[in-house]
Amino acid sequence: MVMSELFGSMVFSDRVMRERLPEDTYKQFKDCCDHDRPLPLDTANVIAGAMKDWAVEKGVTHFTHWFQPMTGLSAEKHDSFITPTEDGGVIMEFSGKELIKGEPDASSFPSGGLRATFEARGYTAWDPTSYAFIKDGTLCIPTAFCSYNGQALDKKTPLLRSMEAVSREGVKLLHLFGRKTKKLISAVGPEQEYFLIDSKAFEKRRDLMYTGRTLFGARPPKGQELEDHYFGAIKPRVAAFMKDLDEELWKLGVLAKTKHNEVAPAQHELAPIYTTVNVATDQNQLTMEIMRKVAAKHGMTCLLHEKPFAGVNGSGKHNNWSLVTNFGHNIFEPGKSPADNAQFLLIVALMIAAVDKHQDLLRISAASAGNDHRLGANEAPPAIVSMYLGDELTGILDAIADGRTYSKRAACEVEIGVHVLPKFAMDSTDRNRTSPLAFTGNKFEFRMLGSAFSIADTNTVLNTIMAEEFRLAAEELSAAKDFNACIKDIIRRIMKAHGRIVFNGNNYSSEWVQEAERRGLLNLPTTVDCLELLDSAENIALFERHGVLTAEEIKSRKDILIENYCKLITIEGNTMLDMAEKDVLPAVTTYEKELAKTVNSMKEAGFAGMPQKNLLRTLNSLYSDAVKAVEKLKAAMAEGKDASDWMSYGRICRDKIIPAMNELRAAADGMELHTAKKYWPFPTYGDLLFSVN
């Protein structure tokens, strides 16, 4: 199939709708989307009919409301189109009602107390701003998932609300600059990292199967030190996978664009072309799912965990975010005229204020048990939120704040609204790769997210905190007598109060951790530290003011996230115990028995047998460390089970269970290094990382 036919062939896209819908239906549909109005039922009926006909022509028999519950995965429940006829046959039917609203019996999804089991089920509601698509012979309708009282039970609902908020408040501000903007749209391009390993090796590791990461494993002789994998030639088997993946994604309308090898062995990356944030979120969920499926077809397993292997880089997801008007103007683009630049500088300053005030929310949006292993591990930004603007842009803002002349290349006074900005180069040389949130010329790249995350939460936060700053600035500017002076004043105040969040240096250095502490920036190393702050009075007030989340919804989210964290750590602890007691300790015992026999027979043969004896001693000492760690881990896990609530359980995970797991791992990895390969019960790091050839 040629590309023009392939791309989007499985999507009920705008083009398909224009072709297949009666003109007035199409117009009505567009109008409802543009003005965030609900669709009348008769219009929905016509669309549902056209959608079904289109799908049936492609051999589809089922449809599903596709949604993103708080598990962070996507969920679907399939219903067929068939309706019985009186003569004992069937016809294929799909009504507007079925399109708009569904009632999955989804009572097992986490609701954080928002939905008691005796209450009615949650329902799903069509999100017409994200196109329906066909996956595995089923028509998938992107939907939001809510309780009967309309409380959000998913990740899409708050994201859509935040898109409205940032648009509403941003448009108000832009109108003060004389713009005719009708809508401000948040756009995102998520870069996705992942690992590929051979499925045969994967299946021999229960830790990978149950938890997505290795809980044991000594460093292999070769890791990523040569950096020979990064952007290296792609192995044929991986290349075949990537080709298939691209094609599957293109069929689904995902603009998969860039693919390359990453830093760690077996690590790769895929980046799509950016698009509207809710579509990008849906498409990233799909991308992760399709990656797993296509890998399986090629006899490989795709690992999306943030830290599948200790000692080599983990996987992240870079969230490139910008705000674009309905006229296609990106408001983070430095302008060419003085007036444009006043607006640009103000907006960058507002971003600084937003990020400094809400460091906690951005950090929380990237918090998970998996990502805790990655942040601050010299491969990803630290757990401290800061921003990179580059020296020139920072210099300009500082100069405005201090009422100084900005001069670097050419002496140039930056008078807001009077002068054109000096050109600041944003070339690759001054691109800082260590910053958690980097300004990269016309967008902000948030690099804290982990590879397995839905990008919904981060973008909900980015939109909401920016909406709040737009609101405050618009309020002040609309009352100002001298518009330019007021802009300058706002920038000056922001730089004084929030300039501390700007850091252009190396975020991986230990000096930065100390410097950040001096600046009073938050440092939240673990998920538990993060979640304690989620439902603070300020956060509740912010989300409620912009209609993004209610106090109840925030509390329910906190409950779900901490419960999920505890359960994950518990599964990891149990898996470790299982592997230690059933595999590692018995294997080492067997090897020790062999060594002991050797020592004895060497003695009988007249040798001292000392080298073997020393090895036995080393192994036995590690063995007893491991046994102690097993007991410690069991005790810590029992304590966790007895905790009165999930938050206390979480603290026990952080303070006792995880440290005990680390001790057990250290002992086991030590034994691995001293045990003959044929005795070791599962594939080693070398076997896993170099399993695909």
CA distance 127 to 111: 20
Identity of the residue, 193 or 392, whose beta carbon is nearer to Mg ion in the bound complex: 193
Work out the burial of residue 496: count CB atoms within 10 Å of its CB; fewer than 13 is exposed, 13-18 middle, 19 or more buried: exposed
Question: Could you give the maximum distance between any two Cα atoms of the chain, in Å?
Answer: 101
Which phi and psi (to 5°) does residue 402 adopt?
-90, 0
Write out the residues near Mg ion by the rule CB under 5 A: 318
User: Is 142 one of the binding residues for ligand ADP (CB under 6 A)?
Assistant: no
Q: Which amino acid is present at 59?
A: G
Three-state SS annotation for 645-661: CHHHHHHHHHHHHHHHH
Select the span of 177-185, 186-194, 522-530, 644-652 touching ligand ADP (CB under 6 A): 186-194
Select the span of 266-274, 372-380, 504-512, 565-573 touching ligand ADP (CB under 6 A): 266-274
Identity of the residue, 144 or 271, whose beta carbon is nearer to Mg ion in the bound complex: 271
Identity of the residue, 384 or 455, whose beta carbon is nearer to ligand ADP in the bound complex: 455
**Binder to ligand ADP among 128, 272, 370, 650 (CB under 6 A)?**
272
Among all residues, whose Cβ is closest to ligand ADP?
189
Identity of the residue, 258 or 405, whose beta carbon is nearer to ligand ADP in the bound complex: 258
**Binder to ligand ADP among 123, 131, 133, 274 (CB under 6 A)?**
274
Select the span of 138-146, 272-280, 478-486, 503-511 touching ligand ADP (CB under 6 A): 272-280
Work out the burial of residue 524: count CB atoms within 10 Å of its CB; fewer than 13 is exposed, 13-18 middle, 19 or more buried: buried
CA distance 26 to 21: 6
Q: Are strands 138-146 and 62-66 parallel, antiparallel or unpaired?
A: parallel
> In terms of Cα–Cα distance, which of 271, 260, 190 is closest to 230?
260
CA dihedral 88, 94, 97, 103 (to 10 degrees): 80
CB of 443 to ligand ADP, least distance (A): 4
Identity of the residue, 318 or 665, whose beta carbon is nearer to Mg ion in the bound complex: 318
Q: Which of Mg ion, ligand ADP, none does residue 104 bind to, with CB < 5 to 8 Å depending on kind?
A: none
DSSP letters for 111-175? -TTSS-TTSPPPEEEE-TTS-EEEETTEEEEEEEEE-TT--B-BSHHHHHHHHHHHHHHHHHHHH
Contacts of 2 (CB under 8 A, 6+ apart): none
CB 332 within 8 A of CB 186: no
Q: Which of ligand ADP, Mg ion, none does residue 272 bind to, with CB < 5 to 8 Å depending on kind?
A: ligand ADP
Q: Which of ligand ADP, Mg ion, none does residue 453 bind to, with CB < 5 to 8 Å depending on kind?
A: none
Centre a 10 Å sphere on the Cβ of residue 419 and count the other Cβ atoms it contains. 14
CB of 425 to Mg ion, least distance (A): 18
Bridge partner residues of 12 (DSSP): 132
Identity of the residue, 504 or 526, whose beta carbon is nearer to ligand ADP in the bound complex: 504
User: Is 267 one of the binding residues for ligand ADP (CB under 6 A)?
Assistant: no
- Binding to ligand ADP (CB under 6 A) within 309-348 occurs at 318, 320-322, 330
User: Is 268 one of the binding residues for ligand ADP (CB under 6 A)?
Assistant: no
Binding mask 415-444 for ligand ADP (x = CB under 6 A): ---------------------------xx-
User: Is 372 one of the binding residues for ligand ADP (CB under 6 A)?
Assistant: no
CB of 441 to Mg ion, least distance (A): 12
User: Is 271 one of the binding residues for ligand ADP (CB under 6 A)?
Assistant: yes
CB of 260 to ligand ADP, least distance (A): 9
Interface with ligand ADP (CB under 6 A): 187-189, 191, 271-274, 318, 320-322, 330, 442-443, 445
